[in-house]
Each structure stands twice: as C-alpha cells, then as structure tokens.
Amino acid sequence: MANLFEPVRLGAIQASNRVLMAPLTRARATRDHVPTPIMADYYRQRASAGLIISEGVGISQQGLGWPYAAGLWSAEQVEGWKPVTAAVHEAGGRIFAQLWHMGRLVHSSVTGEQPVSSSPITAPGRAHTYEGNKSYEQPRALDVEDIPDVIQTYVTAARNAIEAGFDGVQIHGANGYLIDEFLRDGVNRREDAYGGPPENRVRLLREITQAVADAIGADRTAVRLSLNGDTQGTDDSDPASLSLAVAKALDPIGLAFLELRELRPDGTRGATNVPRQSPLIRQHYAGPLVLNSDYDTARAQADLDSGLAQAISFGRPFIANPDLPERLSAGASLNPLQEETLYTQGAEGYVDYPALEKVA
C-alpha cells in the first residue's frame, strides 16, 4: 500500500509525493492574458506538491472568458509563463499546464465573439466579466467542419506549454466547459458523429487527447473529468455508460494520469447523490488515477490503500497553505481561506499566506 507522502510515477514525471495541487483559477494575469511576476511567486511557494496542475490556461481567445486569466496562444503569453515554470523547477517542483476552453460559459464582452458549444443551449447562471456578472448568451453549435480547428488550438497550446517550460499538460474536460458539453447528454443534443450514444459523445475528447499526445508525448499528457452530478448546468442521464465509454477511449492512449473531480453528497463546492464513477473507471482504465474533491488526509490515504487511486489532488487547501504536504504529514492545522480575495488582482490572499514554520 502506498503512503500519501511517498513518490509516484506519473508518466514522464517522478512526483515527490502523492499530494497534487489541483487547478485553481486565481485571475492574476493581465487583460491580454499574459502571466505576471507575482504568479511565479505563487507557484514557487507551492512547489512542494508532488505535481502542480496550473490554473486553467486558455487555448484561444474564443475559449477564454475569465477576466485576468492567463493564456497560451501568443508568443507574449509563452514568454510570460517561462519565469513561472523556472521558479517551480528551481524550488524542486514539477508543473503541468491545464488547457482550458470554456465553451458556452463565456460572454462575448470578454471573448469578442458568440460562445460555442456542442449544442445551442444557454447555460444557467451568469458569466463573470470585466463589467460585472452578465447572463450567459446562447452558444453557437460547433459545425463538424469547425472541430479540426478547435483540436489544433489544443495542440498549439500544448506545444506552447512545453516551450514555456511546463513538464506536461492536462486537458480540461470537466466542470461544464467545452469538452464536458460534448460528453454529457444534458447539453449535447447533436445528431452527427459527435452526438447520440456515449461512444459518439466521447469522440471529441478522444481526438483532442490523441492529437495532444501525438504532439508532446502521451507520458506528458493528462486529462481531467467530472462525470457524476451536475456541474454548471452540465449533467448526464447515464453516467455509468458514459464513464465506461470514457475509460475505454482513454486507456489505449497511455496518459500520464487521469484526474477525476468527484462530487459527494456532503460536498462543499457542489454536492450530488450520483455515485462517484472512479470504481467503474478503475476496472477499465489501467493508467494512474488521481482523485479530487473534499479530501482530508484519512480519506485520501483510504483511497490509496484500496488501490482506487495513485494520487490525490487538493484544491482550495493549497490556496491558503502553500506548504500543504508538510502540514498534512505533520497533522498541523490549516490556514483559513480568504474567499474575498480568490479572484482579485493583488498579493493579498495570494502570496501572503504563512508557511508552517512562520506560524509554529
């Protein structure tokens, strides 16, 4: 049985422990989506994670609707990321870039164009924009002829990530964003080769993942999914059938790892009574499995002990605790999270959380 604080091989990466940092949007880039120096400080502080999975990084202007989030489609953005990855490596850490297309969960006031999705179904809720929250707009369904260009934006962003010094990439297929909108039948109402049965709905995920793996290596390519319960208005009527199709589609590619964000009945950021799908996926997916959402040390170790997971990713605890692996190992108390500074642009609530030795 593996200990949470023991090393683990994740594709090309030898992670120093099994406490991974989950992707966390923090909005500290410029309005042109270029990383800023303070981001290097933030990620350096958290380099003791076995592997950092970066905040969602936009693959194109079309897909990046979050104000002050960073991108990876321009030369300036690539140059902006280089000090960040260098800082992590100098501190002994490893970092993957999470590749993000937000699909219908954007607003034209940020992207400059109508949102796109699997089907022309407007998302519930409101979009976060530079001018405040605005109602989501009806998206345009991507034509089959559009899809190769979308796939190419993922490939280009993946190559840019490697140029910027990242150790690999994670394809964001979770949380109701573009790929998830194709995967789940609550949004995907298509009648072509990308819609209908689960085997068709996983096609875009499989094609993107294979193309990225071919470009930078499968051992430097990961995927994140959320398959149980509603996330930002995206859900599925038969998650078990979809999960089986996903596992069978991704297993042959030989990914570095597959991460699952799994909602729980008592979840703090979304809750569901839909069973988590990791036990089913574990039966059909042979690669490393990383699990996420509302873990503490005991629950994390239990899923490692059972063989269900090879590592656990922690999200919000890493925001307030830059030295989270050390704190968990020592059984130390955790700093409280400052919710009000999650998406502000300054240092407060970003790089000023104290490390354990400063509060002992």
| Cβ-proximal residues to 197 (8 Å cutoff; 6+ apart), any chain | none
Dihedral angle computed from the Cα positions of residues 48, 339, 81 and 56, in that order, rounded to the nearest 10 degrees: 100
Q: Would you call 312 helix, strand, or coil by DSSP?
A: strand
Q: Residue 321, SS3?
A: coil
Q: Which residues contact 240 (CB under 8 A, 6 or more apart)?
A: 277, 280
Give the span between the Cα atoms of 296 and 183, in whole angstroms: 29
Q: CA-CA-CA-CA torsion for 78, 83, 86, 91, nearest 10 degrees? A: -140
- How many angstroms separate the CA atoms of 81 and 97, rounded? 10
* Beta partners for residue 99, in sequence order: 57, 171
Find the catalytic residue in 43, 136, 154, 177.
Answer: 177
Q: Angle of helix 203-216 relative to helix 239-250, nearest 10 degrees? A: 30
Give CA angle at 200 (199, 206), nearest 5°. Answer: 80
Query: Is residue 153 within 8 Å of 210, Cβ to Cβ?
Result: no
Q: How far apart are CA 177 and CA 216, in angstroms?
A: 23
Report the alpha-carbon distance of residue 149 to residue 196 in Å, rounded.
Answer: 22
177 carries an active-site annotation = yes
Contacts of 143 (CB under 8 A, 6+ apart): none
CA distances from 241 to 30, 184, 227, 246, 349 (A): 41, 11, 10, 9, 41
Q: Which residues are catalytic?
A: 177
